[in-house]
Amino acid sequence: MYRIGVDLGGTNIAVGVVDENYKIIGRGKVKTNAPRPAEEIFDDIAKAIRMAVEDAGLTMDDISFVGVGTPGSVNKEKGLIEFSNNLDFNNVPANKLLEERIGKACVFENDANAAALGEAYAGAGNGVKNLVAVTLGTGVGSGIIIGGKVLGGTNDAAGEMGHTTIVVDGEQCNCGRKGCWERYASATALISQTKAKMLECPDSKMWALCDGNIDNASGRTAFSAMYEGDEAAKQVVDQYIKYVAIGVTNIVNIFQPDVICIGGGISNEGDNLLDPIREFVRKECYTKYAWKQTKICKAVLGNDAGIIGAALAE
């Protein structure tokens, strides 16, 4: 029997048929076109599921389970997506809506948790029991796997490491707190830090990389200019990496995971990002003298992490 994993995103609904070796053997994909009524979105989830099953050369009778990763907060006990601003969902009876359409038992999981589960079993974790996945994107997303299972907490809402404070009374976060990790370590934060330094240093090579337009600054700008020997860009990168490393050290101290994997576009900087983080953590973590240390690496599954992890959700 095979499992279905669904990555329900604000832009696309991506589906995979996952075999016993955690390989995707069939795919389906449609646009989410959110916001619109939940019933219409769930019609398209069912459509994409059938596309994936057909692509795999199977029938729905071959499918034992369907898992869905969704942005927002999920109440597994009641089968609800309680809130998702990306989808404009409030207390949507997700299990009921999907089971009515496909006739299979379903489980919904937060998308960051699903991605972490995928990386733990089929990606960077390679089967480890304790892993934290961090995504440096618009915000800082994270999912925590302890003992091979998602750490959900009281409201199935644990794992929001991006909203732990690293700077007391720091920058205002849209969550309501100040000084949150994601205000300093997200790709959005890096772009803001890059622009600030560009205004401070009009001779920086970052301007040339942006064709003289500060609005063209991206998460790659400071790294690219640093590689060309630009000192102002190096200052941006060094400070940004320190912010990321502070949060990673906190994760090590709190959870002592076997692996922390880092994803998002900035992770494509590879060891130029990861080596300084590793060095900082080695110096700062509470267990610096322990014989076994947390492995810090790049996430490897990309967009498939959410699909595979959703298929493994319980």
Residue 149: beta bridge partners? 146
pLDDT at 72: 86
pLDDT at 86: 81
Instruction: Give per-residue pLDDT as tens, 175-201.
Output: 899 999 999 999 999 999 999 999 999
pLDDT at 262: 97
For the full predicted model, state whether its pTM sits above 0.85.
yes
Q: Which residues contact 28 (CB under 8 A, 6 or more apart)?
A: 14, 15, 47, 48, 49, 50, 51, 52, 53, 54, 55
In order of 133, 229, 238, 240, the CA distances from 118 in angstroms are: 10, 38, 31, 27
Which tokens belong to 113? 């948790």
**Helix, coil or strand: residue 239:** helix
Beta strands in the chain (DSSP E): 2-8, 12-18, 24-31, 63-70, 73-75, 80-84, 89-92, 106-110, 131-136, 140-146, 149-150, 259-263, 295-298
Which domains are delineated in the chain? 2-120+304-312 (3.30.420.40), 128-298 (3.30.420.40)
pLDDT exceeding 90 applies to what percent of the chain? 88
pLDDT at 10: 87
Residue 26: beta bridge partners? 17
pLDDT reading at 116 higher than 90: yes
pLDDT at 209: 98
In order of 65, 76, 194, the CA distances from 93 in angstroms are: 18, 10, 43
pLDDT band at 81, cuts 50/70/90? Answer: very high
pLDDT at 44: 98
* Secondary structure letter of residue 292 according to DSSP: S
Q: Mean of the pLDDT values across residues 268-292? A: 96
Which tokens belong to 222? 């400071």
pLDDT at 213: 98
**Helix, coil or strand: residue 119:** helix
Averaged pLDDT score across all residues of the chain: 95
Gap between the Cα atoms of 97 and 106, Å rounded: 10
pLDDT reading at 59 higher than 90: yes
Cβ pair 306, 10 in contact under 8 A: no
pLDDT at 155: 78
pLDDT exceeding 70 applies to what percent of the chain? 100
* 213 Rama sector, left if φ>0, alpha if ψ -120 to 50, beta otherwise: beta
pLDDT band at 208, cuts 50/70/90? Answer: very high
Lowest-confidence range among 89-93, 137-141, 258-262?
137-141
Give the strands of the sheet with 295-298, arranged side by side: 149-150, 140-146, 131-136, 259-263, 295-298
Half-sphere exposure of 156 (CA within 13 A, CB side): 25
